[in-house]
């Protein structure tokens, strides 16, 4: 009987030890005031009671603490909100400690950033003259582009930073404040600032005050925006008319020269090729790349063209300059691949055929990928087919290449692109995890699907979705029986646009560590509502100082703000040509929203069009994954991190 009891006791110990027991607490790395701080708590094999808080010391020396006790269920995730208010500058940490169950206490440093809102300042022009009226409006929104309802302080500052006009504690009308300001006849010339202060946070936009002279006549230069070296030549068409419609007569001088980029102290410079002709309202001219500019086929570079027209009799001179982009081919390869490979797991490279603006070209054809290792292995050549300008190359690195470096060469017709010096991920356990997006070109309302794969069977997988710096979704998958791969699916919400992070991790008991991977998935349709403006008044009935009637269609209950600008401002470059004045366009809105993500700007690589299957956020190891995704993690095990020199460091989190 005693022997049986001993055997039963040993068996019990074995079963408990083979089950994942750790708990994970994940929160954003950036702490922002005037909002909720969202924390994901993922449980393991047994229930916990945790106290989770943001604690620290304000810059004034006062202590700060805001937290709550949370019940963590078995093998499940909870998403909680901590109302932090306005802690002010200071040093803060995310803290978690158990109040019942196994002993657990850990903390991680947070970065306080006093920037919580999207404040756009729109003006009718970029440059103003003395005596002009500055028409501007402030669009005050939160990071989810919802209007603020509190008051704001607005100031107009001159070149020395002195306030010239102030509006204190003005109310917002559905997030909008519109006003005008008349400049003096002799203001300080230079860069002025329109500053908006909301809850102590300052946002600003610069405008230029200059005593400029408007053109005496309208001059237009028509030429291609880009051309191929193989085209050999290009046409320039110049027209000039007085504002009463009469043609301008005089002498036209056209200069053209190529721009060379050099790292030398004495840069490479090409002498401008000039042509002078008599002008009578219109003229055309042909430039030959070889005979006129002495240019052979070369790397892509800009070509500057300047037209100077001197009017006969008055001798008034006016100039217009523009650029042509010289290209070897009308397309280029954009290759996106992870910085590190993980043995026995898919390494996925995205290949896109794009134009000079970075937009995918819907073309077909074969792409050859050469895979090379520095250990002397033979070169592997694989052909993949472009489908509407896109192809995906996938291979699984063998364990034998663990200590080797990967190099890839991608070829399409006469162009090529390289991916070099790809090394193995530094997981000391020898086990790895990856995320593969299964959907592309998704927008709000679509389904985003992904596959989570590991090199070992997983019985528990946690994942979170991060949008605009907040954890939006937190879930736990309990896999029975344990398996190496699992698919997840989530509906894309407005908070996930223009992109979101998907991070998954698998806690491991064997090595007291975890495996993690993350991707950034782009989504379209950032703005949810449509608006249209059409004139009601007939153009023939419009008179100076008369009324103009417009019809605006949009969402019921919405607030509409109209902006009017004269065509001369657009023609002279004083205002944007899209009718939006200056300071508010789609790119500005997207970049402002993306700035809340907590991701490193280098991850976007200055591309306006992100790869459709997302960006891999993996670093040297699993700890880098959380940092790259803008998160911190606390758990009752070891987390591996790296110092600035790439050395692996073990930190005991229990």
55-64 pLDDT, tens digit each: 999 999 999 9
pLDDT at position 513 over 90 = no
Per-residue model confidence (pLDDT) at position 19: 37
Per-residue model confidence (pLDDT) at position 400: 87
Per-residue model confidence (pLDDT) at position 651: 54
CB 90 within 8 A of CB 109: no
* 447-467/433-437 β-pairing: antiparallel
Residue 452: both structure tokens together: 């989570």
Q: What is the pLDDT of residues 21-41, one digit of tens each?
A: 578 999 999 999 999 999 999
The residue-averaged pLDDT of 111-139 equals: 94
Say how far apart CA 247 and CA 285 lie, in whole Å. 18
Of 104, 52, 110, nearest to 81 by C-alpha is: 52
H/E element, 587: helix 586-594
* 48-58/90-100 β-pairing: antiparallel
pLDDT band per the 50, 70, 90 thresholds, residue 267: low
H/E element, 219: strand 218-222
CB 303 within 8 A of CB 323: yes
CB 310 within 8 A of CB 324: no
Say how far apart CA 260 and CA 224 lie, in whole Å. 20
pLDDT at position 6 over 90 = no
Q: What is the pLDDT of residues 593-605, one digit of tens each?
A: 989 988 765 555 5
Location of structure tokens 């070149």: 159
pLDDT at position 541 over 60 = yes
Q: What is the pLDDT of residues 224-251, one digit of tens each?
A: 999 999 899 999 999 999 988 899 999 9
Strand partners for 51: 69, 97
Backbone angles phi, psi at 413, to 5 degrees: 50, -120
H/E element, 249: strand 249-258
Of 625, 631, 96, 630, nearest to 640 by C-alpha is: 625
pLDDT at position 264 over 70 = no
The residue-averaged pLDDT of 250-263 equals: 87
Output DSSP code: residue 539.
G
The residue-averaged pLDDT of 491-503 equals: 95
Of 145, 50, 46, 31, nearest to 89 by C-alpha is: 31
Residue 114: both structure tokens together: 């006093």
Per-residue model confidence (pLDDT) at position 55: 97
Of 581, 624, 187, nearest to 427 by C-alpha is: 624
pLDDT band per the 50, 70, 90 thresholds, residue 497: very high
pTM for the predicted model, two decimal places: 0.88
CB 490 within 8 A of CB 590: no
pLDDT band per the 50, 70, 90 thresholds, residue 562: confident
Backbone angles phi, psi at 31, to 5 degrees: -105, 120
Please confirm whether the linkage preceding 481 is cis (ω < 30° from 0): yes
Query: Distance of alpha carbon 577 from its chain centroid, rounded?
Result: 24
Output DSSP code: residue 428.
T
Per-residue model confidence (pLDDT) at position 510: 63
pLDDT at position 500 over 50 = yes
Give the range among 65-69, 89-93, 618-622 with minimum mean pLDDT.
618-622
* 615-616/550-553 β-pairing: unpaired
Following CA atoms 135, 136, 137, 143 in sequence, which dihedral angle do they give, to the nearest 10 degrees? 160
Residue 115: both structure tokens together: 């920037």
Location of structure tokens 């006791």: 9
Give the range among 4-8, 287-291, 430-434 with minimum mean pLDDT.
4-8
Backbone angles phi, psi at 324, to 5 degrees: -115, 140
- The pLDDT > 70 percentage for the chain reads 90
Q: What is the DSSP string of 464-475?
A: EEEETTEEEEEE
pLDDT at position 8 over 60 = no
Between 17 and 502, the more confident residue is: 502
Say how far apart CA 538 and CA 520 lie, in whole Å. 49
Q: Is 141 left (phi over 0), alpha (psi -120 to 50) or beta?
A: beta
Of 180, 186, 175, 185, nearest to 165 by C-alpha is: 180
Residue 580: both structure tokens together: 């939006």
Of 340, 339, 333, 337, nearest to 349 by C-alpha is: 337
pLDDT band per the 50, 70, 90 thresholds, residue 18: very low
The residue-averaged pLDDT of 89-118 equals: 91
Per-residue model confidence (pLDDT) at position 496: 95
Strand partners for 228: 327
CB 22 within 8 A of CB 44: yes
Of 368, 382, 380, nearest to 412 by C-alpha is: 368
The residue-averaged pLDDT of 610-629 equals: 87
Say how far apart CA 55 and CA 67 lie, in whole Å. 8
Between 579 and 607, the more confident residue is: 579
Say how far apart CA 291 and CA 303 lie, in whole Å. 15
Q: How many CA atoms lie within 13 A of 461 on its CB side?
A: 27
Backbone angles phi, psi at 550, to 5 degrees: -125, 155
Per-residue model confidence (pLDDT) at position 22: 79
Give the range among 180-184, 217-221, 363-367, 537-541 with minimum mean pLDDT.
537-541
Say how far apart CA 336 and CA 313 lie, in whole Å. 59
Q: What is the pLDDT of residues 146-177, one digit of tens each?
A: 999 989 999 999 999 999 999 999 999 999 99
Residue 421: both structure tokens together: 């010096």
Per-residue model confidence (pLDDT) at position 550: 86
Backbone angles phi, psi at 158, to 5 degrees: -85, -170
Provide the residue count of the chain: 654
pLDDT band per the 50, 70, 90 thresholds, residue 583: confident
Of 636, 629, 642, 648, nearest to 513 by C-alpha is: 636
Query: Distance of alpha carbon 560 from its chain centroid, rounded?
Result: 28
Alpha helices, H only, 150-271:
none
Average pLDDT, the chain: 87
CB 191 within 8 A of CB 160: no
pLDDT band per the 50, 70, 90 thresholds, residue 14: very low
Strand partners for 353: 333
Q: Please give the domain boundaries of the chain with CATH numbers for all domains.
A: 117-209 (2.60.40.1930), 218-327 (2.60.40.1940), 343-424 (2.60.40)
Residues 532, 533, 534, 536, CA torsion sign: positive
Per-residue model confidence (pLDDT) at position 5: 40
Q: Is 604 exposed, middle or buried (0-12, 13-18, 19+ CB in 10 A)?
A: middle
- The pLDDT > 90 percentage for the chain reads 65
Residue 2 CB contacts under 8 Å (≥ 6 apart), including other chains: none
pLDDT at position 639 over 50 = no
H/E element, 256: strand 249-258
The residue-averaged pLDDT of 630-637 equals: 86
């Amino acid at each position: 009987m005693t022997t049986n009891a001993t055997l039963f006791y040993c068996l019990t110990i074995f079963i408990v030890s083979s089950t994942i027991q750790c708990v994970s607490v994940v929160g954003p790395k950036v702490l922002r005031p005037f909002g909720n701080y969202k924390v994901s708590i993922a449980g393991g094999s047994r229930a916990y009671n945790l106290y989770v808080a943001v604690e620290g010391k304000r810059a004034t020396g006062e202590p700060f603490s805001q937290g709550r006790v949370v019940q963590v269920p078995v093998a499940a995730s909870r998403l909680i909100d901590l109302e932090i208010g306005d802690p002010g500058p200071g040093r803060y940490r995310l803290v978690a400690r158990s109040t019942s169950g196994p002993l657990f206490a850990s903390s991680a440093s947070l970065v306080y950033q006093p920037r919580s809102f999207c404040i756009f300042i729109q003006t009718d022009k970029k440059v103003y003259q003395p005596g002009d009226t500055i028409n501007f409006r402030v669009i005050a929104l939160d990071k989810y582009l919802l209007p603020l309802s509190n008051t704001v302080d607005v100031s107009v500052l001159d070149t020395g930073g002195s306030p010239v006009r102030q509006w204190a504690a003005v109310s917002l009308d559905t997030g909008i404040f519109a006003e005008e300001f008349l400049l003096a006849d002799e203001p300080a010339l230079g860069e002025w600032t329109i500053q908006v202060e909301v809850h102590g946070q300052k946002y600003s936009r610069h405008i230029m005050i200059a005593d400029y002279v408007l053109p005496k006549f309208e001059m237009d230069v028509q030429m291609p925006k880009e051309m191929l070296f193989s085209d050999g030549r290009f046409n320039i068409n110049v027209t000039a008319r007085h504002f009463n419609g009469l043609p301008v007569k005089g002498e036209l001088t056209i200069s053209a020269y190529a721009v060379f980029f050099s790292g030398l102290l004495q840069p490479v410079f090409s002498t401008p090729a000039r042509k002078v002709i008599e002008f009578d309202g219109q003229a055309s001219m042909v430039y030959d790349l070889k005979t006129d500019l002495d240019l052979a086929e070369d790397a892509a570079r800009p070509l500057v063209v300047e037209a100077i027209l001197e009017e006969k009799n008055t001798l008034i001179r006016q100039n217009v300059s523009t650029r042509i982009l010289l290209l070897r081919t009308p397309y280029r390869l954009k290759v996106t691949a992870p910085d590190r490979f993980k043995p026995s797991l898919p390494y996925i490279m995205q290949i896109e055929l794009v134009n000079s603006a970075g937009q995918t070209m819907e073309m077909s054809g074969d792409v050859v990928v050469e895979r090379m290792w520095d250990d002397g292995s033979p070169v592997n050549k694989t052909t993949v087919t472009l489908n509407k300008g896109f192809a995906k190359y996938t291979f699984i690195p063998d364990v034998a290449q663990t200590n080797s470096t990967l190099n890839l060469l991608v070829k399409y017709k006469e162009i090529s692109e390289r991916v070099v010096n790809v090394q193995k991920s530094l997981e000391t356990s020898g086990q790895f995890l990856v995320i593969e997006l299964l959907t592309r070109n998704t927008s709000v309302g679509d389904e985003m699907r992904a596959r989570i794969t590991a090199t070992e069977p997983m019985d528990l997988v946690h994942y979170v979705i991060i949008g605009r710096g907040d954890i939006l979704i937190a879930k736990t998958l309990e896999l029975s029986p344990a398996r190496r791969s699992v698919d997840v699916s989530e509906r894309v919400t407005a908070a996930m646009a223009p992109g979101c992070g998907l991070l998954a991790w698998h806690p491991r008991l064997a090595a007291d560590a975890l495996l993690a991977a993350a991707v950034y998935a782009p989504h379209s349709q950032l703005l949810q509502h449509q608006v249209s403006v059409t004139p009601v008044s007939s153009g023939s009935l419009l008179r100076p100082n008369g009324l103009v009637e417009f019809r605006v269609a949009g969402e019921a209950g919405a607030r509409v703000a109209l902006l009017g600008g004269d065509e001369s401002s657009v023609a002279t470059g004083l205002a944007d040509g899209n009718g939006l004045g200056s300071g508010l366009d789609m790119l500005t809105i997207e970049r402002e929203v993306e700035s809340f993500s907590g991701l490193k700007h280098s991850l976007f690589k200055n591309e306006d069009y992100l790869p459709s299957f997302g960006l891999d956020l993996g670093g040297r190891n699993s700890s880098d994954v959380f940092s790259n995704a803008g998160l911190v993690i606390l758990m009752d095990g070891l987390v591996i991190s790296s110092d600035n020199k790439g050395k692996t460091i073990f930190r005991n989190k229990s």
